[in-house]
Amino acid sequence: MHLYRTHNCNELTKSDINKNVRLSGWVHHRRDHGGVLFIDLRDQYGITQIVFHPENNEMLDIASHISYESVITVTGNVVERSEETVNSKLATGEIELFVSELNIESSAKTTPFQVAESDVVNEDLRLRYRFIDLRREKMRKNIIFRAEVITTIREFMEGNGFHEFQTPILANSSPEGARDYLVPSRIHPGKFYALPQAPQQYKQLLMISGFDRYYQIAPCFRDEDARADRSPGEFYQLDIEMAFVTQEEVFAIVDELMKLVVKKHGKHKLVFEDFPQITFHDAMNKYGTDKPDMRFDLFLQDLTDELSGSECQIFSQGKKPGVAIKAINYPGGAEAPRSFFDGLQTWAKQNGLKGLAYIVFEEGIAKGPIVKFLSENDLTAIKEKTGAKDGDVVFFAVAKWKAACHGLGALRYVLAERMELRDPNVMAFCWVVDFPMYEKEDHSGNIVFSHNPFSMPQGGMKALEEQDPLDIVAYQYDICCNGVELSSGAIRNHQPEIMYKAFEIGGYDRKEVDEHFGHMIRAFEYGAPPHGGIAPGVDRLVMLLADEPSIREVIAFPKNSKAQDLLVGAPSSVMPEQLAELNIRIVD
RNA sequence: GCGGGUGUAGCUCAAUUGGUUAGAGCGCCGGCCUGUCACGCCGGAGGUUGAGAGUUCAAGUCUCUUCACUCGCGCCA
């Protein structure tokens, strides 16, 4: 007989009755009836009830004092349960194990929280004792679910001619983008590796090397602050790159993959079989965000033309260049209590707006603090454009275009929450396309890259030379789902001259480009295929599929929001000898 | 860096307007119990109410400071 087990804890059925078997697992729960003792024995697979009887009083006594979460090995006969004692909740509920031999492999101290209870435990504590937390059914399911999703992804990619390559973890620092994690070099004092923010350069180099379709479940490292859907420090993305492709071909692969994953693993209905495409500009104007939640129709309207001529001071600011008047209709909003509208004023200030004007339409007339400043024409225009009816409320944001859009985009979610429009049972994927190549930096007024500088501008060199930089859009796209950005991607710029020009507009002269990106440009000078790709976030995708509110629920050992690993104690101080070897001195 | 929320027993929570010795369930320890599966019953231990200061006859409760966690903003080309 195997030293530890002949079966797992989810395996034994009626057909095993009278067999002498051995099980190992954790003491999940214990029910001591004095004369008879039941223990639920648990492993990754499930639970089997094992029974101790007074025939062996010594063993019964020992068993009755085994602490929860201890690991034991038991040997005995599989016994049929009488009809009234069958537990239909367990796969093994028709049998139980009559224990004849007990071995305690590892006795557990009292655990800081209970594995068998479903209480939501303080997350700090859960992370500190993650190895116990992961024993809980929900976490075990999530982590295995994640593994299964990744298996599906790998099978799909391989089946479509992609190969998985590993790219370096010790890479180079780059001045663009997120903060790097730096790794000091021992052999080269004063120099540093950087952990890759993404394998971006390497996957492009693979294309130039002649590999046609690359993918990798790739670890990425960014030293930026956390969000509920963004792990600090590190995360995994499905990194994809393809040679000789158009944007549409990248979309086609990702569409198919997402649909496969949702249908196979999700319990959600897909809102769109064909994922809609929306331009960045339209997404901002209609949804107030570049990652629109398309599960519900509640759209922003632009009233800049209609209202900037108004007598009302709030609206006449719309005449200023760059300022937009955006509006959103809240159907049935007239019912909302006064406190809701008052609370929104503070809310608006926290969301980048000076305030939030609104008009209540009730009993055929318009009401609210600003109505007395509005003409009949103004009101007609508002009603026409927003479709506001009796009982509705229209909110207005007057600010720089981006701020006005973002403000009402955030309000759109507040309203959707009140109206319960965000259906948790569906997934609405969409593509956001035509991201601008450049934007004007707020504080400096400089033209800077708004996304990846290596993306191909639409129109190529001609566009760079002839168009207003702020009007140039790139072959740069995002795939979003339910208001979450799953991934950014782009058709890359593979032509050195266009690259120099693009960088020139972005404020880098030739020398700087050569200094920072010379290795990439050199590579492009020896025969580079047109190529493009994308990199959906694996953690986020699994989070959405598993219906979890936080990314940490689908990561085995996540960092907390301060980027610490409380279990192993990272980051930590290191020995002075280590620092000395690296030529590093800590300055207070 | 900034703003919101939370912090009471090992865990999850309660404690009226500021008012008696801060309670309950689970867990833990001891006892009883031969069919439970959230077993049941009896008893017990366990608290610097995150920390510090203040107001008050009286503070878990009010004020200030601070710490921890968390959500959001900034940031994430």
The complex scores an ipTM of 0.92
**SS3 for A196?**
coil
Please report the sign of the dihedral spanned by the C-alpha atoms of residue A153, residue A154, residue A158, residue A161. Answer: positive
Instruction: Return the nearest residue to B39, CA–C1'.
Output: A31
Answer left, alpha or beta for residue A148, where phi above 0 means left and psi between -120 and 50 means alpha. Answer: alpha
Under a CB-based contact definition with an 8 Å cutoff, are residues A28 and A40 in contact?
A: yes
Q: What is the nearest nucleotide to A35, using C1' and CA?
A: B34
Q: Which residue has the higher pLDDT, A444 or A84?
A: A84
Helix boundaries (H) for A185-303:
200-208, 247-265, 280-287
Write the CATH number of the domain with boundaries A121-267+529-588.
Answer: 3.30.930.10
Q: What CATH topology corresponds to A296-422?
A: Gyrase A; domain 2 (3.30.1360)
Query: How many alpha carbons lie under 13 Å from residue A471 in its C-beta half-sphere?
Result: 8
Residue A352: count of CB within 10 angstroms of its CB: 15
Which of chain B's bases lie under 7 Å from a protein CB?
Answer: 1, 3, 10-13, 25-30, 32-40, 68-77
Nearest to A486 by CA among A536, A424, A443: A536
Give the nucleotide nearest to A225 (CA→C1'): B75
CA pair distance A160, A82, nearest whole angstrom: 53
Q: Is the dihedral of CA A290, A296, A297, A301 positive or negative?
A: negative
**Dihedral angle sign, alpha carbons of residues A113, A118, A122, A128:** positive
Q: CA of A338 and C1' of B19: distance in angstroms? A: 36
Helix (H, G, I), strand (E, B) or coil at A280: helix
Q: Residues with Cβ < 8 Å from A357, sequence gap 6 or more?
A: A314, A368, A369, A370, A395, A396, A398
Quick check: helix, strand or coil at residue A379? helix
Beta-bridge partners for A77 = A20, A98
pLDDT in tens, A491-515: 999 999 999 999 999 988 999 999 8
Q: Which CATH superfamily is domain A14-106 in?
A: Nucleic acid-binding proteins (2.40.50.140)
Whether pLDDT at A588 is above 70: no
Give nearest nucleotide to A222 (CA–C1'). B76
Report the distance from CA of residue A37 to the C1' of nucleotide B2 in Å, as an integer.
58
Nearest protein residue, CA measured to C1' of B26: A117
A586 CB neighbour count, 10 Å cutoff: 8
| Distance CA A120 to C1' B26 in A | 13
Which nucleotide lies at the shortest CA–C1' distance from A453?
Answer: B77
For residues A41-62, give the mean pLDDT.
Answer: 96
User: How far in angstroms lies nucleotide B10's C1' from the CA of residue A41?
Assistant: 23
| pLDDT of A451 over the 90 cut | no
Buried/exposed code over A196-221 (b: 16+ C-beta within 10 A; e: otherwise): bbbbbbbbbbbbbeebbbbbbebbbb
Instruction: Tell me what the mean pLDDT of segment A430-449 comes to.
Output: 88
Q: Which residue has the higher pLDDT, A382 or A587?
A: A382
- H helix or E strand, kind and range, residue A457: none
Q: Going by C-beta distance under 8 Å and a sequence separation of 6 or more, which residues neighbour residue A528? A: A207, A208, A494, A495
DSSP A521-555: HHHHTT----EEEE--BHHHHHHHHTT-SSGGGG-
Please state, in angstroms and rounded to a whole number, the distance separating the CA atoms of residues A228 and A223: 16
- State how far the Cα of A149 lies from the Cα of A545, in Å rounded to an integer: 9
Domain boundaries, chain A: 14-106, 121-267+529-588, 296-422
For range A266-291, the mean pLDDT: 94
Which nucleotide lies closest to A564 by the C1' atom and the CA atom? Answer: B69
Nucleotide nearest to A200 (CA to C1'): B77
In the three-class reduction of DSSP (H, G, I as helix; E, B as strand; rest coil), residue A160 is classed as coil
Q: Which nucleotide is nearest to A352 (CA to C1')?
A: B73
The protein residue nearest B72 (Cα–C1') is A227
Residue A206 has pLDDT above 80, yes or no: yes
In the block, tokens 């349960």 appear at A81
Place of tokens 């707020």: A442
Interatomic CA–C1' length for residue A71 and nucleotide B44, angstroms: 28
pLDDT at A174 (0 to 100): 84
The protein residue nearest nucleotide B11, judged by CA to C1', is A113
Between CA A587 and C1' B31 the distance (Å) reads 62
Spatial distance between the Cα atoms of A19 and A78, rounded to a whole number of angstroms:
6
Distance (Å) from CA A225 to C1' B1? 12
| Per-residue confidence (pLDDT) for residue A170, from 0 to 100 | 97
Q: Supply the pLDDT for residue A239.
A: 98
Q: CA–C1' distance A55–B32 (Å)?
A: 19
Amino acid A9: pLDDT: 98
Residue-wise pLDDT for A293-344, tens only, equals 999 999 999 999 999 888 888 899 888 888 899 999 999 999 888 778 877 8
Q: For residues A567 and A339, give the distance between their C-alpha atoms in angstroms, rounded to a whole number.
A: 44
